[in-house]
Structure 1
Amino acid sequence: MRIAITGSTGLIGTALVRSLRADGHDVVRLVRRAPAAADEVRWDPARQQVDTAGLTGCEAVVHLAGAGVGDHRWTAAYKQQIRDSRVLGTRALAEALASMDVPPRVFVSGSAIGYYGDTGDRRTDESAPAGHGFLPEVCVDWEAAARPARDAGIRTVFARTGLVVARSGGAWGRLFPVFRLGLGGRLGDGSQYWSFISLHDHIAALRHLLTTEELTGPVNLTAPEPVTNREVTAVMGRLLHRPTLFSVPAPVLRVVLGEFAEDVLGSQRVVPKRLLESGFTFAHPRIVEAVRAAID
């Protein structure tokens, strides 16, 4: 299969490209500069430009590009960058794919469980409505931007991703060094739920979305049993053989992280109902298995 991918240099994109190529798939990487290799195709989401000629023959497109939500303090300018990098990029791709004489059969567009906002301890699946606040609003607009592809008859799937457990990159990429130093601990009171997924399972789930014809619309990419931040802290300490005596009080997080602290302290107990119903099997369904896989 010939597959185009945006965000191919990120944590998930790098792993997905490696996985697909290992199985003999032809991967095209969309880049925002002049192509420097035969497998690269130019796109410019800010200018709404995509080299559709380079996508000829692609049966699938996976859209993973977007500014990191936790990479910087949430100034007004960075919040705009978070939104634009998702909405403009998705719109550019969706319109470009819809314009092709022979469009791809499937468009897997990145999204996030931030769509649901703070769900407390309520188990939340894809039938739940959008939450309130900045991230839910971004996710709503992000998914809506894919409408041209859907209207053109392209099977469009929204991969609502949870916290990916990996040694480098993402939230866990920041946690591992802290815990290895023996400085890890719960955030706030630790009662908030974290909906996680191992990197291995995330890549397998993306590939499942590409090939499972009945899946359209939102699909949660999270492990079956979300756990509290307190449970995550205990597992990290036990597997890394480090104490977890420290904790970061909520007021301190608010000072350090600003507005983003409310999302760190928020609780999301999101479950992958549609993924499980479609026959997907997790290699690391529990947090201890996901963390151990990342360590190994």
Structure 2
Amino acid sequence: MTQPTLRETLDAHGLSAKKSFGQHFLLDLNVTRKIVRLAGPFEGRAVIEVGPGPGGLTRALLESDAGRVVLVEKDPRFVPLLSELDDGSGRLSIIQDDALRVKEAALVDGPAHLVSNLPYNVGTALLIKWLTGPWTPHALTLMFQKEVAERIVAAPGEDAYGRLAVIAQAVCEARLVMHLPAAAFTPPPKVASAVVHLVPRPDRPAPERLKRLERVTAAAFGQRRKMLRSSLKPLGGGALCERAGIAPDARAETIDLNGFLRLADALDQPAR
């Protein structure tokens, strides 16, 4: 039996996007299938999808080689609609909850992928949770506003380079793999979107080192136009820079990942 289209399903349930939830639906299955191809292969591993809405990405995931597909949907209006995709095989699980509160390790056993068209209003917060939290996904393929996606993959000296780039690239290899125009969504957002693929690095910083890196980048980019000796003054200023082998008159946007890791490590070193 042929499934109804996503638009037909939305109409049948009388559903539309909620601005308060940052919802913009991707209804073109050719696009969702391409995103899933970019995210895979899954080789039988579980996939967590946050904010599935009407299930465009979910349908493509269920067509893939994912072992289980676990949906985390905050909006209870979509749970009955998503339940219609369950074929009784046990592959699909639906969790009605806030993804910012969910403990992913309790949802899946073993390695898992994250594949999501993230709600715009919580996308960055969710990414930081996954990058810095105790649970490490096998890989993340996530859609953001184009501006946020560019901030994740930016290099030193680029306008988009900042704290998000340093934290993301310290933890993962990050690539921008797909652009989508606003017209691809219903309703169309005011901005374009992009998909980022992130794979955790084997040499990712240990938790305590990552916390120090967060402190250093928060201070450095909190006053990004100032020299580091000024922006890092609460953490040691010029003396901290000298211990890390960084010029105190440099600015945050010129320092690469290794430089910020040296600054993070220097927080633990006694002043000379």
Q: What TM-score, normalized by structure 2, do the two folds share?
A: 0.25
The structure with the largest alpha-carbon Rg is 2
Q: What TM-score, normalized by structure 1, do the two folds share?
A: 0.23
